[in-house]
Amino acid sequence: MKNKKRARILAGPYLVWAVAFIIIPLAMIFTYGLTSRDGGYTLANIASIATPEHSKALWLSVRLSIIATVICLLLGYPLAYILAHMKSSKGMIIFIFILPMWMNFLLRTLAWQTLLEKTGVINTVLSAIGLPTLAIINTSKAIVLGMVYNFLPFMVLPLYNSLTKIDDNVINAAHDLGANGFQTFIKIILPLTVPGIISGITMVFVPALTTFVISKLLGGSKILLIGNVIEEQFTQASNWHLGSGLSIVLMIFILFNMLLSAIFDKDGEGNVI
Amino acid sequence: MSKKLIELNNISKSYGSNIVLDELNLYIRENEFLTLLGPSGCGKTTTLRIIGGFETPDTGNVLFDGNDITSLPPNKRQLNTVFQKYALFTHMNVSDNIAFGLKIKGKTDKYIRDKIEYALRLVNLEGYGDRMPECLSGGQQQRVAIARAIVNEPKVLLLDEPLGALDLKLRQDMQYELIRLKEELGITFIYVTHDQEEALTMSDTIVVMNQGYIQQIGSPEDIYNEPENAFVADFIGDSNIIDGIMLQDELVMFLGTKFACVDTGFGTNTPVDVVIRPEDVILTPPERGKINGVVTHLIFKGVHYEMEVQAGGFEWLVHSTTMFPVGAEVGLEVDPFNIQIMNKPASEDEEAVSLEE
């Protein structure tokens, strides 16, 4: 009984925090999202996702997030695999790899803007050595690049975790039973890292789906993702009701993804960061 | 005598500056149950991994049926391994674990089904095919690991401390099961353990190893009754190891007293190690013993009493069915044929290390 009491006291500060900054804002979003300006309940804000403008932004967000997630997986899996099997200087590589994460997210994205600009660093170098210049700033490609750059570590860490959990002797056993390297990978390593893959996908897909900073800085004003649409409703259009309604739609997408991840990732590979 | 199936010639292996195996030579005969026995770090597991193909020796070669397989990868070798802690595929059920090797080899479904059934029956796990490994006890997982290895009909089964994680009773049951399996399958077993009782129970041949060197190769009876050096004597069972001087053939002096023995050929006045098993020490009333002493400790062990006796400046370990209370004065006597005489180790590498078990 005494322990229970103590736990309640210790949990107090966080409870206050959670109510003030999580529960109340969430309730407000639902209230705004499900009401109109005149105060009556309505589903119109949520239904407005079906308008061509909004559904196009959502579809584009989903598409770019999936592309970015797939690229992260293809880049991240081999990297995680190499890291997991390195015997020495592993710490150094992980350090270099995580280093950018200590820099501000906005700064990193702004840096890419400078690099990719028409007269930016990359193009200056390219034209100096006589190569054709790139025109990817303010395109979907630049947005995907920004997503991959920012979210790759969130893919690699859960993969690395699930790879290091595989006992060396399990892989030895597969070889011992006649499997070559490729067969061992497909039949043993890949299935055993499914929790890590799912958790990596979630951790890249969710922030990519909701981002509005990357698309704003690297996509210019022409490309609108669902995050930008929602942001506009709050900042420029001052239509909190519509903004909240669209947020709820996005939340449903994310909850669905989380649900998938919870089913596959029972060991909590994603709980690394 | 059956023919040599595996030969290890001049195998050396080191990790950095740590020499694990030094010029090791060993052969294993067909249908032999051979045990590599020694304390941790003695090189027994490395030897097994070299035979299995998971390590490549720095020097020397491995012959299998006369062919050099030193650099052949494990998936091309005609042997299978039962790993420490089983190393089951946790994402597959028992049947799929057992079928893994057969599927890789492209066997027919019917063949695989029959084999799974046969293997499950062999290890007493009928009806467990659909279970996942995590739902099985340690002993059952061990049986699955054995079944998974033997369905591939290897010529040799390598076992790396397979019973290490099991409790005592289960371990003893599994020892009998392994002997039965070995007899039913008629294949060669190479078994690694640090447990001397396991080695004595199951093996045809025991190879005692320490610090990368083979200390003795022999049958369990040879190893126990005629240890070649103090290390083996100390590692296999309990022993009293006493400094002595071989005065002449069949006469040794230790603790200031002359004892008759049966060993010859050590020369005269040669320093030796005298080894006497605790069960070979005879306790008598003080006036009839060769040395007199006092009982300092007494423990009841079930089959016998274990006593420590301070006598002649040495603390003797004695196993006896007759009890003498602590503080009792006793005489000690040893029959000549129970006194083992050993040369002092020539090099430091062979030196007996004190073993904490």
User: Amino acid identity, residue A143?
Assistant: I
Q: Give the strand pairing for B156-160 and B188-193.
A: parallel
**Cβ of A43: how many Cβ atoms within 10 Å?**
11
Give yes or no: residues B182 and B211 share one domain. yes
Distance between the two ends of chain A, CA-based, in angstroms? Answer: 34
Give yes or no: residues B24 and B151 share one domain. yes
CB–CB contact A169 B89 (8 Å): no
Residue B352 forms part of a structural domain: no
Look up the CATH number of the domain holding residue B186. Answer: 3.40.50.300
Please give the residue of chain A at the shortest CA–CA distance from B87. A170
Per-residue pLDDT at A238: 86
Residue B353 forms part of a structural domain: no
Per-residue pLDDT at A204: 93
By the 8 A CB rule, do B145 and B165 touch?
no
* Percent of chain A residues topping a pLDDT of 90: 45
Per-residue pLDDT at A224: 86
Q: Which residue would you say has higher pLDDT here, A87 or A109?
A: A109
CB-CB neighbors (< 8 A) of A180 in chain B: 75
> Is a pLDDT exceeding 80 seen at residue A269?
no
Give yes or no: residues B129 and B251 share one domain. no
> Is a pLDDT exceeding 80 seen at residue A2?
no
Give yes or no: residues B157 and B300 share one domain. no
Q: Does A177 touch chain B (CB under 8 A)?
A: yes
- Partner residue facing B91 (CB), from A169, A183, A192: A192
CB–CB contact B74 A175 (8 Å): yes
Mean pLDDT of chain A: 88
What pTM was computed for the model?
A: 0.79
* B15 CA: distance to closest CA in chain A (Å): 13
Per-residue pLDDT at B28: 95
Give yes or no: residues B189 and B259 share one domain. no
How sure is the predictor about A266, in pLDDT bands with cuts at 50, 70 and 90?
low
CB–CB contact A172 B100 (8 Å): no
Look up the CATH number of the domain holding residue B327. Answer: 2.40.50.140
Per-block mean pLDDT, blocks of 10 residues, chain B (357 long):
89 91 93 94 93 94 94 93 92 96 95 95 92 92 94 94 85 89 92 92 94 93 89 88 92 92 89 91 90 92 92 92 92 92 67 40
| SS3 track for chain B | CCCEEEEEEEEEEEECCEEEEEEEEEEEECCCEEEEECCCCCCHHHHHHHHHCCCCCCEEEEEECCEECCCCCHHHCCEEEECCCCCCCCCCCHHHHHHHHHHHCCCCHHHHHHHHHHHHHHCCCCCCCCCCHHHCCHHHHHHHHHHHHHCCCCCEEEEECCCCCCCHHHHHHHHHHHHHHHHHHCCEEEEEECCHHHHHHHCCEEEEEECCEEEEEECHHHHHHCCCCHHHHHHCCCCEEEEEEEEECCEEEECCEEEECCCCCCCCCEEEEEEECHHHEEEECHHHCCEEEEEEEEEECCCCEEEEEEECCEEEEEEECCCCCCCCEEEEEECHHHCEEEECCCCHHHCCCCCCC
Last-in-domain residue among B179, B201, B225: B225
Q: Angle at which helices A240-264 and A226-235 pack, to 10 degrees?
A: 140
Last-in-domain residue among B176, B193, B225: B225
How sure is the predictor about A271, in pLDDT bands with cuts at 50, 70 and 90?
very low
- Partner residue facing A170 (CB), from B87, B101, B105: B87
Averaged pLDDT for residues A215-224: 85
Give yes or no: residues B95 and B130 share one domain. yes
Give yes or no: residues B106 and B242 share one domain. no
Please give the residue of chain B at the shortest CA–CA distance from A191. B91
Please give the residue of chain B at the shortest CA–CA distance from A188. B89
How sure is the predictor about A265, in pLDDT bands with cuts at 50, 70 and 90?
low
By the 8 A CB rule, do A158 and A196 touch?
yes
Structure tokens at B141: 């997982």
Please give the residue of chain B at the shortest CA–CA distance from A167. B87
Residue B357 forms part of a structural domain: no
Per-residue pLDDT at A102: 83
Per-residue pLDDT at B350: 46
Substitution target in B51, B80, B100 with the highest count of A β-carbons within 10 Å is B100
Per-residue pLDDT at A131: 86
Q: Which CATH number fits domain A44-264: 1.10.1060.10, 1.10.510.10, 1.10.3720.10, 1.20.1440.120?
A: 1.10.3720.10
Burial class of residue B47 (count of CB atoms within 10 Å of its CB; 0-12, 13-18, 19+):
buried
Give yes or no: residues B15 and B104 share one domain. yes
Q: Does A174 touch chain B (CB under 8 A)?
A: yes
CB–CB contact A172 B87 (8 Å): yes
CB-CB neighbors (< 8 A) of A192 in chain B: 89-91
CB–CB contact B149 A183 (8 Å): no
By the 8 A CB rule, do B13 and B46 touch?
yes
Residue-wise over B119-139: b if at least 16 C-beta within 10 A, else e?
bbebbebeebbeeebeebeeb
Please give the residue of chain A at the shortest CA–CA distance from B79. A176
**Cβ of A230: how many Cβ atoms within 10 Å?**
22
As for the ipTM of the complex, it is: 0.80
Give yes or no: residues B166 and B188 share one domain. yes
CA separation for the pair B292, B311 (Å, rounded): 6
Give yes or no: residues B339 and B215 share one domain. no
Q: How far is CA B186 from the centre of its chain?
A: 21
Give yes or no: residues B78 and B188 share one domain. yes
Q: Does A180 touch chain B (CB under 8 A)?
A: yes
Domain of B260? Answer: 238-345
Residues with Cβ within 8 Å of A84's Cβ and at least 6 positions away in sequence, in order, are A160, A163, A164
> Is a pLDDT exceeding 50 seen at residue A272?
no
Give yes or no: residues B135 and B271 share one domain. no
